[in-house]
């Protein structure tokens, strides 16, 4: 039954139905998709602007290519909602996108055969697509492989590394450069300027579009056109300086209007049938079709729920400030006092809070694009000359620079401060975005000092402490608001590797990191009231170095030690505690609470995901009770 609001879209069960649609229905289909995106994302939140920008492009891709036989690889895949709607996922699960039991906000190989590749981190599409195209060539297949990359994906090293290999690896690959001039913020860097020149250079455009007719009118032009058409690089390069892509061995077409369906279809057919790697430069408008998203591309890149009429956010901002703002504002204060301090972001000025530094001290701010490896190495170079870099990268995205952390920061023992927001869960985004690995991976690197504040005031103390140190430091903190504590007017220096005893106890001692400190305090109250137990609580502050002397002293006296962390158990903070006790031959049982050894899905909120993983307060409480009753069966994990 066609639905009243979506008469065409509701009839699309899969890509075959799109191919069957008459041309004159396509515009209406596009409108319905836009309405569906706006109404769903206004309730669930999500990536509105990028998806509104690729409505025509995605329809055209499904008219010309046939998934799942052909592979469409979307970079980051935050713009994959339209693809989901057209590949059999326009049902109640789409209405619950990013929520418990709803679709993922990104493409996922486990969600649909039409999702050739899963992603969430930027810059992976071209490499993955090149791998698929090369595998096809080796296996003798004839399917098509298409990489859909945003303009900001070309600020990623991996994209450029893949581009460097395209011509050597395959004879056939379609690359779509979806250019809307925006990353999350305005795109940055030389490539972005270059793409802008391709779009705006009137000479280039005019010659490109009119080259045939111009040549026909000039003496000898016919002949030139004929030669050009047969020439290896085509007629365009005769009169137009060839694009950078042609130097990489990839034929460039464009720029074309990415909202003109017939034009897109025509060019995609051509690209599909080409016997060489091609890049089609498509110009789109982020937020197309929804005024507020066009006017505010940054805030509608990924939005929280909003009122459709006004575009205003539904989440009322009250209460404690976000960690990112506390960080950003504190950094401004430190940077005003010390001009050698600079802030570095990889395309996330607002998300990290570095926007405050940009607004007040733009000369002490760098946005390097989606280039985390470069951000870290760039900081290393700066610090060799006495500059004090503060690198603000989400926990999950810093994973990309693991080698630079080891080889360029810690091995060189350089005083760079890393501030990792979104440590812990990013519930709606899911496994690509949860920041659960950093405690474990940083703990393994010599010279690193790794810490986590229990509240926003302690975050500033940790920044202050780090900026006074002469070695690499890492501070992790969660997404969202602080605790609402009173902020000291002047931060204080913390003693490195010293934990804070919040309360003493004889029956159990809990060592906790970051927000888990408050969970530990709550658990201790319940254990006292409901079980009559005396529970010690320690704010560990440092996961590296650990406060060994306090830990050993307490472990010698306590029947049970509990560790709590918002990170993976494997190799994490609890592991550090166990290793320390084992090395000292202390056999006190340790009950470790943290995330089990499996990827954590997306969900509506932190509470429901914790519940699923056995990390609700009740589950943690019963785990502790079990261990107290049978302490020798300990050394357990929470799953």
User: What are the catalytic residues?
Assistant: 286, 372, 400
Write the DSSP string, 213-230.
Answer: HHHHHSTTHHHHHHHHHH
Report the DSSP pairing between strands 449-451 and 542-544.
antiparallel
Question: Exactly one of 50, 328, 424, 491 binds ligand TPP (CB under 6 A); which one?
Answer: 50
User: Considering only residues 42, 77, 108, 180, which one is a binding residue for ligand TPP as defined by CB under 6 A?
Assistant: 180
13/295 with CB nearer ligand TPP: 295
DSSP count for the chain of H helices, then E strands: 28, 17
**426 binds ligand TPP per the rule CB under 6 A:** no
Say if CB 72 and CB 83 are below 8 A apart: yes
- Report yes or no: 110 and 117 within 8 Å, Cβ to Cβ: no
Binding of residue 428 to ligand TPP (CB under 6 A): no
Q: Which string of b and e fits 534-543 if b means at least 16 CB within 10 Å? A: ebbbbbbbbb
Q: Does 441 bind ligand TPP (CB under 6 A)?
A: no
- Please say which residue, 112 or 183, places its beta carbon nearer to ligand TPP: 183
Among 153, 414, 467, 513, binds ligand TPP (CB under 6 A): 153
Start-to-end CA distance of the chain, whole Å, equals 44
Stretch in the footprint of ligand TPP (CB under 6 A) among 76-84, 242-250, 269-277, 557-565? 76-84
Q: Which is nearer to ligand TPP, 352 or 539 (CB)?
A: 352
Closest CA to 324 of 248, 272, 392, 398: 392
3-state secondary structure of 212: helix
CB of 553 to ligand TPP, least distance (A): 42
Q: Which stretch binds ligand TPP (CB under 6 A): 73-81, 238-246, 257-265, 314-322?
A: 73-81
Q: Tell me which stretch binds ligand TPP (CB under 6 A): 29-37, 145-153, 456-464, 561-569.
A: 145-153
469: number of Cβ within 10 Å: 13
Alpha-carbon distances of 578 from 379, 380, 548, 589, 624, rounded to whole Å: 34, 33, 11, 9, 16
281 interacts with ligand TPP by CB under 6 A = no
Residues 6 or more apart whose CB falls under 8 angstroms from that of 194 comprise 244
Distance in Å, CB of 171 to ligand TPP, minimum: 26
Q: Compute the distance between CA of residue 162 and CA of residue 153 in angstroms, rounded to an integer.
A: 12
Given 62, 84, 121, 281, the residue binding ligand TPP (CB under 6 A): 121
Binding part of the chain for ligand TPP, among 58-66, 72-80, 374-382, 491-499 by CB under 6 A, reads 72-80
Identify whether the C-beta of residue 34 lies closer than 8 Å to the C-beta of residue 54: no
* Rounded least distance, CB 397 to ligand TPP, Å: 4
Stretch of 150-158, 329-337, 584-592, 623-631 lying at the interface with ligand TPP (CB under 6 A) = 150-158
Q: Which of 122, 80, 124, 71 is nearest to 103 (CA)?
A: 80
At 294, list the tokens: 């066009």
285 binds ligand TPP (CB under 6 A): no
Binder to ligand TPP among 42, 58, 67, 76 (CB under 6 A)?
A: 76
Residues found near ligand TPP in the complex (CB under 6 A): 50, 75-76, 78-79, 121-122, 150-153, 178, 180, 182-184, 286, 346-347, 370, 372, 397, 400
């Amino acid at each position: 039954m066609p639905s009243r609001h979506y008469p065409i879209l509701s009839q699309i069960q899969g890509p075959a139905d799109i191919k069957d649609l008459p041309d004159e229905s396509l515009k209406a289909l596009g409108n319905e998709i836009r309405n569906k995106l706006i109404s769903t994302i206004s309730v669930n939140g999500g990536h509105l602007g990028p998806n509104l920008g690729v409505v025509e492009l995605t329809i055209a891709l499904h008219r010309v290519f046939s998934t799942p036989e052909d592979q469409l690889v979307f970079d980051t895949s935050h713009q994959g909602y339209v693809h989901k709607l057209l590949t059999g996922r326009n049902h109640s699960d789409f209405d619950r996108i990013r929520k418990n039991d709803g679709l993922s906000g990104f493409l996922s190989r486990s969600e649909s055969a039409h999702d050739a590749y899963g992603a969430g981190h930027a810059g992976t599409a071209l490499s993955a697509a090149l791998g698929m195209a090369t595998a096809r060539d080796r296996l003798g297949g004839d399917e098509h492989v298409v990489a859909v990359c945003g303009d900001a994906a070309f600020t990623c090293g991996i994209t450029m590394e893949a581009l460097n290999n395209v011509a050597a690896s395959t004879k056939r690959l379609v690359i779509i450069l979806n250019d809307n001039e925006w990353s999350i913020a305005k795109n940055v860097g030389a490539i972005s300027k270059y793409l802008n020149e391709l779009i705006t250079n009137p000479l280039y455009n005019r010659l490109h579009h009119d080259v045939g007719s111009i040549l026909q009118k000039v003496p000898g032009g016919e002949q030139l056109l004929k030669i050009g058409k047969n020439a290896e690089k085509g007629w365009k390069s005769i009169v137009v300086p060839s694009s950078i892509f042609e130097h990489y061995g990839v034929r460039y077409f464009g720029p074309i209007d990415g909202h003109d369906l017939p034009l897109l279809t025509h060019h995609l057919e051509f690209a599909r049938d080409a016997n060489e790697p091609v890049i089609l430069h498509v110009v789109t408008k982020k937020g197309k079709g929804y005024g507020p998203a066009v006017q505010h591309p940054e805030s509608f890149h990924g939005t929280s729920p909003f009122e459709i009429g006004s575009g205003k956010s539904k989440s009322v901002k009250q209460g404690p400030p976000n960690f990112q703002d506390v960080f950003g504002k504190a950094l401004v204060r430190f940077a005003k006092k010390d001009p050698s301090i600079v802030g570095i972001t990889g395309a996330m000025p607002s998300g990290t809070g570095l926007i405050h530094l940009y607004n007040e001290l733009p000369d002490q701010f760098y946005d390097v694009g989606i280039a985390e490896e470069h951000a870290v190495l760039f900081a290393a170079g700066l610090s060799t000359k006495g500059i004090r870099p503060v690198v603000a990268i989400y926990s999950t995205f810093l994973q990309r620079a693991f080698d630079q952390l080891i080889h360029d920061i810690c091995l060189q023992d350089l005083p760079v401060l890393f501030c990792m927001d979104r440590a812990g869960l990013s519930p709606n985004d899911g496994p690509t975005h949860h920041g659960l690995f950093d405690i474990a991976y940083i703990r393994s690197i010599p010279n690193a000092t790794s810490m986590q504040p229990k509240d926003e005031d302690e975050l500033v103390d940790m920044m202050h402490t780090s900026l006074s140190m002469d070695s690499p430091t890492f501070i992790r903190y969660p997404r969202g608001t602080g605790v609402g504590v009173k902020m000291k007017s002047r931060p204080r220096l913390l003693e490195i590797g010293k934990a804070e005893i919040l309360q003493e106890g004889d029956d159990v001692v809990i060592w906790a990191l970051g927000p888990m400190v408050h969970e530990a305090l709550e658990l201790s109250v319940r254990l006292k009231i409901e079980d009559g137990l005396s529970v010690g609580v320690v704010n560990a502050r440092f996961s590296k170095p650990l406060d060994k002397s306090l830990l050993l002293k307490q472990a010698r006296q306590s029947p049970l030690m509990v560790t709590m962390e918002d990170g993976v158990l494997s190799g994490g903070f609890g592991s550090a505690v166990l290793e320390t006790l084992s090395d000292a031959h202390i056999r006190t049982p340790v009950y470790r609470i943290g995330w089990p050894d499996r990827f954590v899905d997306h969900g509506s909120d932190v509470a429901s995901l914790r519940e699923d993983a056995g990390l609700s307060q009740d589950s943690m409480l019963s785990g502790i009770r079990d261990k107290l009753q049978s302490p020798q069966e300990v050394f357990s994990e929470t799953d």
